[in-house]
């Protein structure tokens, strides 16, 4: 999951530099690669972190309570991420040019919050684990 996160963040930095009005085939390839990495990361996080909690298999009360507390934020970031992927995976339509920078920025904010919450959840799950930077 952490390798997927690193890949996603690396692609995000490149994606944020795209100028939609000057988008070329390399930018389109980057967009598709980013959207795939985004969906893969969301899925991996779900199966690595949240599946155990959602299914009721997590027995540590503090972990389950923290997960329940943050889950609405995780759901919202999942929704925003999937909307972004659906909207831009096939490219940027002319009508979306003016909104692209805003959508990338909004996605970045949600991903930042999500990653911070996931790191805290990982610390709850693995209290002896080193701090994640």
CATH architecture of 2-125: Up-down Bundle (1.20)
Q: Which two tokens stand for residue 68?
A: 């329940």
The SS3 assignment for 120 reads helix
Distance CA 57, CA 59 (A): 6
Lowest mean pLDDT among 5-14, 42-51, 98-107: 42-51
% of the chain surpassing 90 pLDDT: 53
Residue 52 has pLDDT above 80, yes or no: no
Lowest mean pLDDT among 30-34, 46-50, 76-80: 46-50
Q: For the segment 54-111, what is each residue's pLDDT rounded down to a tens digit?
A: 777 888 888 889 998 999 999 999 999 999 999 998 877 666 777 899 999 999 999 9
Please state the domain extents for the chain. Answer: 2-125
Nearest to 86 by CA among 121, 35, 129, 131: 35
pLDDT of residue 23: 84
Of residues 129 and 45, more confidence is placed in: 45
Report CA 2 to chain centroid distance, whole Å: 12
Count CA within 13 A, CB hemisphere, residue 60.
11
């Amino acid at each position: 999951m952490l390798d997927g996160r690193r890949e996603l963040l690396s692609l995000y930095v490149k994606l944020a530099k795209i100028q939609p009005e000057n988008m070329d085939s390399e930018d389109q390839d980057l967009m598709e690669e980013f959207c795939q990495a985004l969906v893969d990361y969301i899925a991996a996080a779900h199966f690595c972190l949240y599946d155990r909690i959602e299914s009721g298999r997590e027995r540590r009360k503090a972990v389950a309570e923290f997960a329940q507390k943050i889950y609405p934020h995780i759901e919202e970031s999942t929704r925003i991420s999937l909307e972004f992927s659906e909207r831009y995976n096939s490219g940027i339509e002319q009508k979306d040019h003016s909104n692209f920078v805003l959508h990338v920025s909004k996605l970045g904010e949600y991903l930042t919050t999500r990653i911070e919450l996931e790191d805290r959840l990982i610390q709850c799950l693995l209290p002896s684990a080193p701090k994640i930077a």
